[in-house]
Amino acid sequence: MKLDAPVTGGPCWVELGTSDLDAAQRFYTRLFGWRPGSGPRQGAGGYTVAHLGEAAVAALAPLYQPSQPVAWNVSFAVADADATVREVTAAGGTTLFGPVDVSDVGRLAVAADPGGAVFQLWQAGTFPGAGLFNAPGALGWVELFTRDPGQAVAFYTRVFGWSADAGERYTRWGLDGDGFGGMVTMDDKFPPEVPAHWLPYFAVEDVDAATAVVQRHGTVLMVPTSVPDGPRIAVLRDPQGAMFGVYRADDER
DSSP 203-223: EES-HHHHHHHHHHHSEEEEE
Residue 3 forms part of a structural domain:
no
Residue 209 forms part of a structural domain:
yes
Residue 134 forms part of a structural domain:
no
151 in the same domain as 95:
no
Q: Which tens digit of pLDDT belongs to each residue from 182-214?
A: 999 999 889 999 999 999 999 999 999 999 999
Distance of CA 65 to the CA centre of its chain: 20
110 in the same domain as 22:
yes
CA max distance for the chain: 46
Residue 133 forms part of a structural domain:
no
Residue 200 forms part of a structural domain:
yes
Residue 4 forms part of a structural domain:
no
State the pLDDT confidence band at 43, using cuts at 50, 70 and 90: very low
Domain that holds residue 91: 11-124
48 near 59, Cβ under 8 Å? yes
148 in the same domain as 120:
no
116 in the same domain as 27:
yes
207 in the same domain as 109:
no
**CATH code for the domain of 210:** 3.10.180.10
pTM, to two decimals:
0.94
25 in the same domain as 119:
yes
State the pLDDT confidence band at 36, using cuts at 50, 70 and 90: confident
105 in the same domain as 197:
no
Q: Is the pLDDT of residue 163 over 60?
A: yes
Query: What does the pLDDT read at residue 162?
Result: 97
Residue 171 forms part of a structural domain:
yes
118 in the same domain as 54:
yes
The total number of structural domains that make up the chain = 2
